[in-house]
Structure 1
């Protein structure tokens, strides 16, 4: 079931316009991540041809932060009436696994097969069985063979899903409480984790990863959802100002220290998402409709775009005139990745999700007071 269907089923009176705004936000977040990787790859092409490429000077990974704030908002907004109800935690987790796992596992398997059969195509070796298993199970592990030490799965962009899964499990763990109390407890848990990371100098891999300050950005989205449920709304001028301030802040502050990321990048991301979540519905113009479709496909775009860019790189190096500007190459990467994500979403992600949701509902009929589910996960950015 898609994010749009989830929200509309739970909140038919307000879900559609709200989702349209957030899907545009998702499209923006995904495109920024793709842009960053396209510009980086343009630098790789330049190096292989012995020329220079200046890049943009912007850390485009801020799209991940936008995804995390959106995720926190959607999970609470859609599941708000499920809190403090029997069995709601398992239903929530089941829906999230069905929504996130199939495409991620499919693309991870493709990476694994390529790495085993054609290892020369990968910049980093596949790694041990334990590392591969951890990649499938959303357990953070160090990536062996990387030029710079990093905690990344086999499908590198899945690092954001490791945070998403932490958030899902933590949120499910407090669902036995009413929603406001649950978010308050979740806040205490996340704040304690981040505090312990620095005061205790945590070095254990998983604990160090899961206590990163970036997890606080999920809480920002949670509180934004509570604000909307409480009736907060923004008029058009205020929403435009908030969105502009958010985008400006993201562009200006995306390169700060990791421990300050929730302030330097998370808060501007919150401003942008708040403009979408609390502001009026966007007009139904052709660019808006395309952005909404791209937002629907943002998870597919986030996870699949490195494969598209890597393929386009080899084509460019073989057939493109060396005099052609590499800005054109970066633009083609963004366009190709975006167009490729739409059929992946329509032909694989959406039908597989619907099939699995239908089978899960057929095996275990949910009680009448269960909610419909939850929205689409980034990242990072983002992958998603």
Structure 2
């Protein structure tokens, strides 16, 4: 009982220490966005659901319903553009500082779970063996086909690509590099669409989803220019912002049923951008939630993103072992997200946070000399 209590207190202390945007309490800190934290969480769970195809099928759910959750990927990328612009802020950061922070945040945990996924696929699942060449290419963020070893992380390869683009343009202009990067991302997407080149690496690095980054940056620019939408009375402005949120959400829900063949940037990128624009506008108008739980879980979204595949694999294995039980599959549609949450919280508190802190101290940037 004593050890259980100590463990509970220790865990709660870590949660209390990590959930809160404490820096937002200081005079020097940039603004902390509350509503976008909820969107981060929604996008993470939507991505987790989209990879539960086997469970959803066994539960006899219409595949079109599952397809609704594809909005999570575009919302994730639009949010990445918005939050990257927020981190860089008005004055920007040097290329070295920005890239160091991104590498420490992204790479070690990604490498660890990619190796784990390789071991699971080769020695636990056995039906999907992967050669070492694919592992090494995945670890190097090089696309060799549609998906890396840990296939939900294909969008992470796009994020790393965009991070390198930003770093390059930060060398050109610290203040405006982020906006040059957005323009270049649109250019890359257009080049991929019009060139006719079929090389898989070129096709991957010119994915139209790059435009979502640019849309997120544009939204940050609008938000950073002052309260919006327009100069309407408060009630009118709230109504317009709420309508933007509703329109974006409804468009994403209706897409699989009414316009499934519409280009992704139109069918999902623009609606998710409108959704983000509306939620940011609502926050600027004073309509937001500063939920302690949401803020903490939003910090765990990278861990959710990396770990949900393992929970989904176990869920599909359980359904297969049960002979395709619809009842078990239905239960797992509710249980799996809870399991993903528990696993990701543990990974965040006992893996991501200490690892990031250790590497930040071990490899301090030029702005912070080692003690």
Asked if structure 2 preserves the Cα contact closer than 8 Å seen for 1:194 and 1:213, the reply is: yes
- Kindly provide the CA deviation profile for residues 46-95 of structure 1, in whole angstroms up to 9, marking residues without a partner as x: 6xxxxx55445341121010011111111112113443x6xx10110110
Asked if structure 2 preserves the Cα contact closer than 8 Å seen for 1:197 and 1:208, the reply is: yes
Note closer, same or farther for the CA distance 1:11–1:232 as it changes in structure 2 (3 Å cut): farther
| Alpha-carbon distance, 1:134 to partner | 1.1
Q: Work out the CA distance in 2 between the residues paired with 1:265 and 1:331.
A: 25
Q: Work out the CA distance in 1 between the residues paired with 2:19 and 2:252.
A: 25
Q: Does 1:164 align with 2:130?
A: no
The partner residue of 1:299 within 297, 302, 308 is 302
Q: Work out the CA distance in 2 between the residues paired with 1:195 and 1:355.
A: 41
The partner residue of 1:226 within 207, 221, 224 is 221
Note closer, same or farther for the CA distance 1:296–1:22 as it changes in structure 2 (3 Å cut): same
| Alpha-carbon distance, 1:300 to partner | 0.9
Asked if structure 1 preserves the Cα contact closer than 8 Å seen for 2:114 and 2:149, the reply is: yes
Asked if structure 2 preserves the Cα contact closer than 8 Å seen for 1:58 and 1:251, the reply is: no
| Alpha-carbon distance, 1:27 to partner | 0.6
Q: Work out the CA distance in 2 between the residues paired with 1:25 and 1:339.
A: 19
Matches within 5 A, 1:343-358: 343-358=346-361
In structure 2, what is the equivalent of residue 33 of structure 1? 47
Note closer, same or farther for the CA distance 1:212–1:256 as it changes in structure 2 (3 Å cut): farther
Q: Work out the CA distance in 2 between the residues paired with 1:54 and 1:154.
A: 28
The partner residue of 2:105 within 99, 102, 106 is 99
Asked if structure 2 preserves the Cα contact closer than 8 Å seen for 1:21 and 1:276, the reply is: yes
Matches within 5 A, 1:138-153: 138-142=141-145, 151-153=146-148
| Alpha-carbon distance, 1:237 to partner | 3.3
Q: State the TM-score, normalizing by the size of structure 1.
A: 0.79
- Greater RCO (CA < 8 Å, at least 6 residues apart): 1
Q: State the TM-score, normalizing by the size of structure 2.
A: 0.81
- Kindly provide the CA deviation profile for residues 290-347 of structure 1, in whole angstroms up to 9, marking residues without a partner as x: 3322221111112211101222333455579947263222122222212221111111
Note closer, same or farther for the CA distance 1:137–1:272 as it changes in structure 2 (3 Å cut): same
| Alpha-carbon distance, 1:265 to partner | 0.5
Q: Work out the CA distance in 2 between the residues paired with 1:323 and 1:116.
A: 28
Asked if structure 2 preserves the Cα contact closer than 8 Å seen for 1:77 and 1:226, the reply is: no
Unaligned runs of 5+ in 1: 47-51, 143-150, 369-384
